[in-house]
Each structure stands twice: as structure tokens, then as C-alpha cells.
Amino acid sequence: MLRMSDGEPVPGRATDVRDSGLPMPRRLWAVVAISFGTALFVLDGTIANVALPTIARDLSVDEGVVVNVVTVYQLVMVMALLPFANLGERLGLRRVYQAGQVIFMVASALSFLASSLPLLLLIRAGQALGAGMAMSVGTALIRQIYPKAKLGSGLGINSVIVASSNALAPVLGGFIVAHADWHWIFVAAVPFALISLLIGRFLPDPERGDTSFDGVSGLWSAISFVLLIGGVELAAHGGRVALGLVTALAGIASALLLARRERRKTNPVFPVDLLAQPAIGLSTLAAIAGFIASAALIVALPFRLEQGMGYSVEDVGLLVLPFPLTMLVVAPAAGWLSDHVSPSIMGLVGMGVALAGLVLLAFLPAHAGALAIAWRLVVAAFGFALFFSPNARMIVSNAPRQRAAAAGGLLATGRLFGQTLGAAMIGTMLSLGAGQGPAPMLVAAGLAGIAAVASFARWRLAGN
């Protein structure tokens, strides 16, 4: 497959001039704006975790109940992704992106009024709505910022911002809880929003679509994901397995009925038109499997190190550090490489390496030292990093330009859905007493195998 590394059109081939990205230096400023926006929503999505015990004590609620601060945020965000991606195609990506940032800041300011858990949950829902609006079109904006031939590099840089923000969140959250009122947790990311908005004029100009927004499909999509993810959460963490399974099955049935309805549309809210393309559908399947596997590793390993191997909480934090550090280094390189090498081959190799790393972690010696744990984590992280950016590139670059927001929303939905399923899966295994042995890593390895098979099938069918 012929590719140009400089972002220029291939001679003799018709190319949409809009795929050449933004001109310099506007492109650099746009990258800064989108990077601060990405950091904002990643940081806000994870920073509250460290404050949950403090919030529970201050608001006099049970620790099991206060987890809803995180659950509500995830539910509202996943509800918003596909409907607002579709709305972004109608109103313009930048308008929806910046409107989401404004809603987020207003909700953040209101967090100082949170004197009860119900009010705090309502405010977190407002923050999640704003975050979901912006995240739904963020990847589509990245596609417009970079030349198509450098899209992999852009996605790789964005993955560094995500990894760095995830690493910063618990540190910043712990510092705030130790030295200030916990309410400041929910406004810590606002400066990122202000900076992103101030230089947001450098983002791609908004382009209006020529079709109207289908509010019924948007609401239907949101309800389907609430039922599906809410059911998973009930079954795994709420102690209501039967109710959770019934709710999740209702969500699946609702999604299937919606997909059937959406097949007749040109720009559907639920992107069945994109999922029908092997390059996008198989990439989405691979992404969900990959995110479940990586989430399972991240959630399960601390339990095994602390409860199964006797390491202290402080030691566990240091022992798992090789994983995010490896991702931080390898992900941008993998993104750049995907502009020059088949993303399917990279995905196949990456998931093969990740599978090997997960199997090595599954059979970790009972008295393994720091070095033995570290090099196995590096192997697994190297494989995941080699997979995620190229796989994301396949989803975004193979969608028509007018459906780039839908592809980005699909990618973000797959990530959140996969991470939720991964955490729920490990929670269920822990409750059954199977969470500290090799089983979680072996299940994760099986999911990595599914992602590898999907990448291979995509290569055979789509040829890239």
C-alpha cells in the first residue's frame, strides 16, 4: 500500500484537499488546544478515585455507595458519545467540542455547592455530559488537524497525553486531598479547559452537515448503553446478579433493534454503516477485546501483588509503574510507524506480544522480585502500545470524512465499554475467589488472542 510520509497527495491520485490537514503554524496551536482538552477529560475522569474515602466520610455515606461518583460519570459519558458525535456532524465539530468544555466548567464551578451525595452526583453528571460532548468529536478533530498521511503520528501523540494524564491524576488527587478541601478535586482540571478554549480558534473551522439530527435515535442509543453498562455494573459490583444480567440483556436487545432501524439511514446515530465495513467493524471488535484485556491486567495485578504475594500498597504502586511508562514511550512511536507500515500487521504483532506478556504474568513465581515483575509488565505494555494507536488509525482513517465524528465516537465508546467490562470481569472473579491466581491473566490473554485474530481477519479482508 503506497503511503507518503510528508502529508502531500500521491501523484496521479485524486485527493480531497481537506485531507491535507491544517497549515503550519496553525496546526501546532491546534495540537496544543486539543492536547489540553484531552488532558482535561482524562484527568477529570480518574482524579476523583483517590478522594472517594474522604468524600464518603465527609458526606456520611457508605463507601460502597460513594462509588457512584465514578459510576454515574462513566454512564453519562458513554450515553453522550454517539449522539453528540452525530450532532457534531450536523452543527460542526468545533462547536460541539467547545460547548462541551463550557458545560464542563459550569458544572465544575457548581461542585463547591455539593453538600450531599445526590447533589454531587448531579454535578458529576453535568461534568460527564460536557466531557462526553467534547470526547465524541475529539478524534474527528485530530483527523482534520493532521494530514491523512500523518494521522497515526497524531493519534500516537494523543495517546501520550492520555497516558500522562492518567499517571498525573492520582498524584494530583492525592495532593489535593491531603492539603485542601476535597471539592477542589472537581475543579482541578478547569485550567486545562480555559487554555484549550483560549486557543481554540486555531482548531479546524466548523462545517455544518446537510441533514437533521435524529433525536429519537440519539435517545434510544443513550438508553441502550445505560441498560447495557448499568446491567454489567449491577451484576459485578451491585450484588444483584440476576437483575444485572436481565438489564444487560435488555440493553443488547435494545441496541440490536436500534441497529435494525438505523440501517436505512445515510448518517445514522448508531454507526451501523461504519461497522459494516470490515476495516472498521473488525477494528472495533479488536479494540473492545484489547481494552478489556488491558483493563483486566491493570485491575487484577494489584490484588495479586498485595494480597497474593504480600507486597505493601506503596510497593504495589511502584511495581506496576513499568506498564504506563512503557506505554508512554512506545505508543507515539507506534502511531508514527502506523503511517508507514500496515496497521493490521502491527496489531497482529502487538497483540501477539501482549498475549505472551499476559501468559508470563499469569505464571509469575509466587516470590517474584521487582525485576521479574517489571520485565513481564514491559513485554505486555509493549504489545498493547504497539496495538492501540494503529488500530485507532484504522477506525478513524477508513471512515468517510463526513463520518469522522461517528468513527471517533465509536472508538471512544469501544474504549469505555471495554474498560468497564474488564473491571467488571475482574470484580466478578474476585468475588468468586478466582481473582488472585493465574485465571485473570489467562482470560485477558484469551481476549488479546481475539484482538489478534480480528487484526489478521482485517488484513485478509481489507488489505491494510
The DSSP result for 94-128, as a single string, is HHHHHHHHHHHHHHHHHGGG--SHHHHHHHHHHHH
Reading the block at residue 247, the C-alpha cell is 438489564
328 and 250 in a single domain? The answer is no
93 and 161 in a single domain? The answer is yes
For residue 273, how many other CB atoms are within 10 A of its CB?
Answer: 18
Residue 14 predicted with pLDDT over 70: no
Question: Which tens digits make up the pLDDT trace of 332-353?
Answer: 888 888 888 888 888 889 999 9
145 and 174 in a single domain? The answer is yes
DSSP class of residue 2? -
Which domain covers residue 247, as residue numbers? Answer: 215-264
Q: Residue 461's pLDDT is what? A: 81
Cα gap 310→296, rounded to integer Å: 20
Cα gap 421→399, rounded to integer Å: 26
User: Does residue 238 lie in a domain region?
Assistant: yes
Q: Give the domain CATH number at 342.
A: 1.20.1250.20
Q: Residue 2's pLDDT is what? A: 37
User: Does residue 9 lie in a domain region?
Assistant: no
256 and 362 in a single domain? The answer is no
User: Does residue 12 lie in a domain region?
Assistant: no
Domain end position, chosen among 264, 280, 303: 264
Cα gap 94→159, rounded to integer Å: 20
Q: Residue 13's pLDDT is what? A: 38
Radius of gyration of the chain (CA): 21
409 and 446 in a single domain? The answer is yes
139 and 248 in a single domain? The answer is no
User: Does residue 122 lie in a domain region?
Assistant: yes
Q: Residue 1's pLDDT is what? A: 38
Domain end position, chosen among 229, 249, 264: 264
288 and 374 in a single domain? The answer is yes
306 and 259 in a single domain? The answer is no
Structural domains counted in the chain: 3
Residue owning grid cell 486531598: 177
Cα gap 209→404, rounded to integer Å: 12
Question: Which tens digits make up the pLDDT trace of 408-425?
Answer: 888 888 888 888 888 778
192 and 302 in a single domain? The answer is no
User: Does residue 36 lie in a domain region?
Assistant: yes
